Structure 1
Amino acid sequence: MHSYDEPVYLISVVATMLNIHPQTLRQYEREGLVEPSRTQGRMRLYSQRDIDRMKLILRLTRQMGVNLAGVDIVLQLKEQIDQMQKEIDQLREELSKVNRNGSVHMSKALVTKNAYDIIIFEE
């Protein structure tokens, strides 16, 4: 079994899996929508993550009528949301640790009163 990010699929296999022409995959690469890995001989290899990304691209273009420029914007926003979600998860974990320990380090103090947040930073 291969990991989600391990590049193992050739362009012909991916094109068959997604029922698209290999030239479409090359166009997505030219547009910067997907970046397959390359072998020493410069053959494209795709991971399962790449395939899932292309499925999203196909859904946006075929079912929702989004052009490739719009797809690029959607993918960038999705990456930003994913990054923000990771930060939220990390902050929740920190808050959980603080709640267990019962104290807050001065550099991370946050006091909520009414509708305002007061953040205190160490100088």
Structure 2
Amino acid sequence: MSQHLQPFDPDAAVFPVSVAASLADMHAQTLRGYDRLGLVVPQRAAGRGRRYSLRDIARLRHVQSLSQQGINLEGVSRILALEAEVDQLNQQVDRLAEVVRRLQTDEATSRVFTAEVSGAVQAGRFQTRTLRALPASPEVT
């Protein structure tokens, strides 16, 4: 009998605080403190209990690693915010790279981009025209 394993969702909030603390090798009070500071904010179960995901556990370990390097919690908070910005920028770059790839494979239609003062980009289309040569001029003898 063949079993089909389904991938585990790293964002599934399944671990209560005691299990998450054990997985992250921390005290449960530390996790609660990180939650209050906004460093690692788990989802809440119906009874309002904290539920941590695998991604939350990885983030807890990351916070712990930064703290062990001598970075205070305010510094850790700033580092996490900057890392989130970098992730967002990387996602934008990936989306733009996909747009460029599609544009490069689209031979029948050309696109024109204009930027507004606000920075918003507008995309337009125009059909390419075939340029025709002018008739040859008569030779002068």
Aligned equivalents of 2:59, 2:25: Cα separation in 1: 15
- State TM-score, norm by structure 2: 0.72
* Structure with more relative contact order (C-alpha pairs < 8 Å, separation 6 or more): 1
In structure 1, the residue corresponding to 2:113 is in which secondary structure? Answer: helix
What is the aligned partner in structure 2 of residue 11 from structure 1? 17
What RMSD in Å do the two structures reach over aligned CA positions? Answer: 1.9
Report the alpha carbon displacement of residue 2 of structure 1 after superposing the two structures with TM.
3.3
Q: How many residues align?
A: 111
Within the candidate set 83, 89, 93, 2:88 is matched to 83
Q: Which runs of 5+ in 2 are unaligned?
A: 1-6, 116-120, 124-141
Q: CA deviation at 1:108?
A: 5.9
Residue 104 (structure 1) shift: 3.8
TM-score scaled to structure 1, two decimals?
0.82
Higher CA-based Rg: 2
| SS, match of residue 40 in structure 1 | coil
More helix by share: 1
Matched, 1:44 2:50: yes
User: Structure 2 counterpart of 1:83, which letter?
Assistant: Q
Q: CA deviation at 1:121?
A: 5.9
- Structure 2 CA distance for aligned equivalents of residues 57 and 65 of structure 1: 11
CA deviation vs aligned residue, 1:87-116 (integer Å, no higher than 9, x gap)? 00111111111111135421269xxxxxxx
Partner of 2:78: 73
CA distance in 2, matches of 1:57, 1:51: 10
